[in-house]
Chain A
Amino acid sequence: MNTLILRTVAPALTALMLLFSVFVLLRGHNEPGGGFIGGLIAASALAIYGIAFGVGAVRRALRFHPMAIAGAGLFLATLSGLLSILFGVPFMTGLWVYPRILGLEVPLATVISFDLGVYLVVLGSIVSIALALEQDSETEIPDAEVAQAPPLEQVPLRGKRRRRDRQPRETR
């Protein structure tokens, strides 16, 4: 979608939404929020970015295939559940530690890493579906060509420049 307004706003909006999604994920334990919602927010953020700059830009920004992110999430969640077996308690029992970091007691739990896993799975799965659909609808060009011709030429935004500069190293 070639609107200047969206292109200008999208990076800021995406960054803000991603930050917010992490916030929602972490606060989920005591306030409304959690991994599912956080993941959905993050997916929307990337969808906006994709609508503004195209699929290739999102893929490059993500570095990993979204399905790989989902896979990592599932792995993390499973690992969080399995960890409890090492301590002789049933599968999926939450384990808590209270390390002191900079003089502040920070409660950490396998529950949090589990929720992070949920976040990543939701994010990865939905983004991969959205990207696959978007890609085919906007162009019939295969991945490689998209990578060579990023649709960002006219927009003199710093963030994007950098991303484009990095691009030659990633030609696959």
Chain B
Amino acid sequence: MAAIGPALTFCVLLLPFMGALMAPWLVSRIGGARAAWLLALFPALAFLHFCGFLPEIARGEVRTGGYAWVPSLNLSFSWFVDGLSLAFALLITGIGTLIVIYSGAYMKGHPHQGRFLSFILLFMGAMLGLVVSDSFLMLFVYWELTSIASFLLIGFDHEREAARRAALQALIVTGAGGLSLLAGLVFLWNITGVTQFSLLVHMADGLRESPFYLATLLLVLGGAFTKSAQFPFHFWLPNAMEAPTPVSAYLHSATMVKAGVYLLMRLQPVMGDTPAWEILLPFFGGITLLVGVLLGLRQTDMKLILAYSTVASLGLLVMLTGFGSSHALEAAVLYLLAHSFFKGALFMAAGAVDHEAGSRDITRLSGLRHTMPLTFAAALLAALSMGGLPLFFGFLAKEEIYAALAAGNPRAVFFTALAVIGNALMFALAFATGLKPFIGARNRTAAPVHEAPPALLLGPLLLAFLGLACALFPGLSHTYLSSPMASAVAGQAVTIDITAIPHFRTPLALSLLTIALGVLVYWQLDRVRDVTTRALDALGEGPDRGFDHFVSGLVRAAVLVTRVVQPGRLHIYVAVTFVMLALTLLVPLFAFGELPAMPVWPKDMLIEEAAFLVIALIGIFAVLRARNRLTAIVSLGIQGFAVAVIFLLFGAPDLSFTQFMVETLSVVILALVMTKLQLTLSDHRPMREALLDATIATACGLGFTLLLLKALQMPFDRVLTDFFNTYSKAIAHGANVVNVIIVDFRGTDTLGEIAVVMITGLAVLALIRVRAGRRAT
């Protein structure tokens, strides 16, 4: 068992991806609804596998495993399962199973249901990999994969512009955060020298004292805050509600958006407990909590209300993670678990209502309790948990929050007040979605409404009951889930022992205050909505508009830059290229004082050498004086041939040979190009332009001359010459050293070069074709 354990876990990590591959095929074969039940087996199996870890993890052990990936870079594909990873893994696979079943019914009859299920499973695999990753790089790869899966799912309904915009927005925001995270992880690696989270724990002290601690923290927060929709990056999450409801329930409330919180919790034992951590996290978390609930109040769409309350919940979680006491961490853990249950259930219930009643507007829906009693039960149970009423998991979390925050000092009082306001408003939001559409008079205008089918009910009911069961059997849930998870987050053994029986102390008083406030807001919901709407409108544009401005600004800047660097005129391209060449040649020579000594005129120059030099000079002169282009091209050839002969005289036959052929062919091809491009026969440049070009040409020529002179004046290193002379015949069986180097010693270079030759040929061919085609039309 010990031997197959790791291999089994590895296969389980691949399971969702296999499901993703099979989904489209299965759906096309046996239909969406049945395929969904079958596909749910993949996450269900993974769930069972991870359940097998529970006893071990509860004893405080960890499960590790993995394979070497790039051993030379110290990279591995390795996983590390402790309380935190396990809790997440169970949430992902457990809720994932329910979501797949739910999607089968929700997307029934959709032409792309197979694609949808495939994306969901792809995301599941990515998220599962993310939470069990031990290696930094593996975490990053999975992190980006979740962003991509989220992009695909938000933009699933790609024919609507709003969906496309939301998808792109989510991808850009989380993608930018991903880059920031990558930089942060590289910093972590460089500071500590380790690439695995499991080893990072031992490096905590060195990391906190490092001068780069703050930079690392900010970069990591950049990743976590964008992923977990913290203010001011919160705007993408409500827009992501363009996705079908199963996606909102799964990615954008229960799992993916918690990836940022996961990362913070994972790093808490290593990076936490510093002033920067305890200022930044509660501050941004607190703002996000307030912004989330306030923006949520003005909404009437059930999904949007839930989305904003998710933003608020994520803020609360970040605030608790950064608050800096082990009690607060316990509260964060409890709230995270409770939130996954009740928010997932509420989203699925909202989806069921939308599916059956055709609307999600709470001002239009009413009296659904008669027609959808089971949905109502699920929604109400979830809302009770979200509102934090006794006997529910949410209540435990809330008690723990107040117990942790109410420490007496001014900072604690401030955050307690924040939490009370946030929770009270969330209470109102909970009942606005979980109670309001179901009570009141029966809505007569809408089409006849039926109860949702079993597949749509299974998820919300099960999750809502879990929220109750976890609180009714606190011993069980604490031993197996919350205590090991809190221990992993705190970095030391922690036991949670809160129960659902109220104690008459400060936390209970605060809870009662919260509930009272919540009831008040709920009672006056319409009036509160008007007030917040008016207040928020007065504030003007939010970051969502800002994102649009940013994107359009980026596009304008790109157009501007393109217009500058790619004006479309060959003359400018060539000029820029040669100016850069001249600068590259001349600037280092002058800047480093590496100018060559004045060369001495050779005394024993042979008459034929001199003659060919003169011919080359005549060729160049002819180029300059040529009246039409053809003469110029041929004259250039004269100069080239003269140089080739000089090569020959100096004992470089191969070089000379090649030069001859290249010169011949360039004259031929240039002449052809000329006739093809139908250039004017002669040169019409104005004096000013011609002078400028002459200057550039002279500078290039001067640069090359100086460089070659310098090279000749350096002492000649014979190592390579001797090597090739010695081994050319002995190893490569060839007497022509030049050719042996080309085809044998440095054959791989040549392979690259001929590939370039061929690609250039293809490109030229394509350009000619494009031209010819354009002329034909």
Residues on B with C-beta less than 8 A from A31 are 735-736
**Is the Cβ of A70 less than 8 Å from the Cβ of B761?**
yes
B751 in complex: contacting residue of A34, A92, A109, A133, CB < 8 Å: A92
Is A128 part of the binding interface, using a Cβ–Cβ cutoff of 8 Å? yes
**Which one of A5-13, A35-43, A148-156, A157-165 contacts B?**
A35-43
Q: Which of B736, B739, B760, B764 has the most chain A CB atoms inside 10 A of its CB?
A: B739
**Is the Cβ of A30 less than 8 Å from the Cβ of B735?**
yes
User: Could you tell me which residues of chain B, from 720 to 777, have a CB within 8 Å of some CB in chain A?
Assistant: 732-736, 738-740, 742-744, 747-748, 750-751, 754-755, 757-758, 760-762, 764-765, 768-769, 771-772, 775
Is A129 part of the binding interface, using a Cβ–Cβ cutoff of 8 Å? yes
CA distance in complex: A33, B750 (Å) = 15
Would you give the shortest CB distance from B605 to chain A, in whole angstroms?
25
CA distance in complex: A73, B668 (Å) = 24
Tell me what chain B mostly uses at the interface: helix, strand, loop, or mixed. helix
Residues on A with C-beta less than 8 A from B736 are 28-34
Is A18 part of the binding interface, using a Cβ–Cβ cutoff of 8 Å? no
Residues on A with C-beta less than 8 A from B668 are 44, 47, 51, 130
**Which one of B376-384, B547-555, B655-663 contacts A?**
B655-663
Is A147 part of the binding interface, using a Cβ–Cβ cutoff of 8 Å? no
**Is the Cβ of B754 less than 8 Å from the Cβ of A77?**
yes
Given A30-B734, A32-B654, A136 and B754 contact (CB-CB distance below 8 Å): no
Is A52 part of the binding interface, using a Cβ–Cβ cutoff of 8 Å? no
Is B413 part of the binding interface, using a Cβ–Cβ cutoff of 8 Å? no
Is B446 part of the binding interface, using a Cβ–Cβ cutoff of 8 Å? no
B670, closest chain A residue (CB): A133
Residues on A with C-beta less than 8 A from B614 are none
Is A83 part of the binding interface, using a Cβ–Cβ cutoff of 8 Å? no
Given A34-B738, A77-B751, A115-B743, A125 and B661 contact (CB-CB distance below 8 Å): no
Given A31-B735, A40-B665, A107-B733, A74 and B744 contact (CB-CB distance below 8 Å): no
Is B711 part of the binding interface, using a Cβ–Cβ cutoff of 8 Å? no
**Is the Cβ of A109 less than 8 Å from the Cβ of B760?**
no
CA distance in complex: A23, B733 (Å) = 19
Given A44-B665, A118-B743, A124 and B758 contact (CB-CB distance below 8 Å): yes
**Is the Cβ of A125 less than 8 Å from the Cβ of B760?**
yes
Residues on B with C-beta less than 8 A from A2 are none
B653, closest chain A residue (CB): A32
User: Could you tell me which residues of chain A, from 95 to 150, have a CB within 8 Å of some CB in chain B?
Assistant: 96, 107, 109, 111, 114-115, 117-118, 121-122, 124-126, 128-130, 132-134, 136-137, 140
Is A67 part of the binding interface, using a Cβ–Cβ cutoff of 8 Å? yes
A30, closest chain B residue (CB): B735
Residues on B with C-beta less than 8 A from A36 are 658, 742
Tally of A interface residues using CB under 8 Å: 50
Given A47-B668, A74-B754, A94-B732, A37 and B761 contact (CB-CB distance below 8 Å): no
Is A54 part of the binding interface, using a Cβ–Cβ cutoff of 8 Å? no
Tally of B interface residues using CB under 8 Å: 43
Is B675 part of the binding interface, using a Cβ–Cβ cutoff of 8 Å? yes
Is B664 part of the binding interface, using a Cβ–Cβ cutoff of 8 Å? yes
Given A81-B747, A137-B676, A70 and B758 contact (CB-CB distance below 8 Å): yes
CA distance in complex: A78, B748 (Å) = 9
**Is the Cβ of A122 less than 8 Å from the Cβ of B757?**
yes
Given A124-B761, A136-B772, A37 and B661 contact (CB-CB distance below 8 Å): yes
A78, closest chain B residue (CB): B751
B657 in complex: contacting residue of A32, A122, A124, A130, CB < 8 Å: A32
A132 in complex: contacting residue of B657, B738, B742, B764, CB < 8 Å: B764
User: Could you tell me which residues of chain A, from 19 to 76, have a CB within 8 Å of some CB in chain B?
Assistant: 24, 28-37, 40-41, 43-44, 47, 51, 67, 70-71, 73-74
**Is the Cβ of B665 less than 8 Å from the Cβ of A43?**
yes
Is B669 part of the binding interface, using a Cβ–Cβ cutoff of 8 Å? yes
Would you give the shortest CB distance from B762 to chain A, in whole angstroms?
7
Is B673 part of the binding interface, using a Cβ–Cβ cutoff of 8 Å? yes
Residues on A with C-beta less than 8 A from B665 are 40, 43-44, 47, 126, 130
Residues on B with C-beta less than 8 A from A118 are 742-743, 750, 754
B761 in complex: contacting residue of A78, A92, A125, CB < 8 Å: A125
B678, closest chain A residue (CB): A137
Residues on A with C-beta less than 8 A from B672 are 130, 133-134, 137
**Is the Cβ of B747 less than 8 Å from the Cβ of A92?**
yes
B669 in complex: contacting residue of A37, A124, A133, CB < 8 Å: A133
Residues on A with C-beta less than 8 A from B748 are 81, 91-92
Residues on A with C-beta less than 8 A from B769 are 132
CA distance in complex: A91, B757 (Å) = 21
Q: Which of B750, B768, B769 has the most chain A CB atoms inside 10 A of its CB?
A: B750
**Is the Cβ of A111 less than 8 Å from the Cβ of B744?**
yes
Q: Which of A37, A44, A109, A137 has the most chain B CB atoms inside 10 A of its CB?
A: A37
CA distance in complex: A35, B734 (Å) = 14
**Is the Cβ of B732 less than 8 Å from the Cβ of A40?**
no
CA distance in complex: A31, B775 (Å) = 48
Residues on B with C-beta less than 8 A from A71 are 758
B768 in complex: contacting residue of A44, A77, A78, A133, CB < 8 Å: A133
CA distance in complex: A115, B744 (Å) = 9
CA distance in complex: A117, B747 (Å) = 12
Residues on A with C-beta less than 8 A from B658 are 36-37, 40
Would you give the shortest CB distance from A93 to chain B, in whole angstroms?
9
B661, closest chain A residue (CB): A40
B675 in complex: contacting residue of A41, A132, A137, CB < 8 Å: A137
CA distance in complex: A47, B224 (Å) = 64
**Is the Cβ of A74 less than 8 Å from the Cβ of B673?**
no
CA distance in complex: A110, B601 (Å) = 47
B729, closest chain A residue (CB): A30
**Is the Cβ of A41 less than 8 Å from the Cβ of B661?**
yes
Given A34-B738, A44-B665, A47-B665, A122 and B754 contact (CB-CB distance below 8 Å): yes
CA distance in complex: A124, B401 (Å) = 76
A132, closest chain B residue (CB): B768
A42, closest chain B residue (CB): B661
B662 in complex: contacting residue of A35, A40, A121, A129, CB < 8 Å: A40
Given A31-B735, A32-B654, A74-B755, A94 and B744 contact (CB-CB distance below 8 Å): yes
CA distance in complex: A91, B735 (Å) = 23
Given A37-B657, A37-B658, A133-B673, A121 and B768 contact (CB-CB distance below 8 Å): no
Residues on B with C-beta less than 8 A from A43 are 665
Residues on A with C-beta less than 8 A from B654 are 32-34, 37
CA distance in complex: A94, B661 (Å) = 28
Would you give the shortest CB distance from B669 to chain A, in whole angstroms?
6
**Is the Cβ of B758 less than 8 Å from the Cβ of A81?**
no
B759, closest chain A residue (CB): A125
15 A-B interface contacts by CB (under 8 A)? A28-B739, A30-B734, A33-B736, A35-B742, A40-B662, A41-B661, A43-B665, A73-B758, A124-B761, A126-B669, A128-B765, A129-B761, A136-B676, A137-B675, A137-B676
Nearest first, the 3 closest Cβ-Cβ pairs linking A and B are: A125-B761, A40-B661, A32-B653
19 further A-B pairs in the complex, CB-CB below 8 A; given A81-B747, A133-B673 = A29-B736, A29-B739, A29-B740, A32-B654, A33-B739, A34-B742, A34-B743, A67-B765, A74-B755, A77-B754, A78-B751, A94-B747, A125-B757, A128-B761, A129-B764, A129-B765, A130-B668, A136-B676, A137-B675
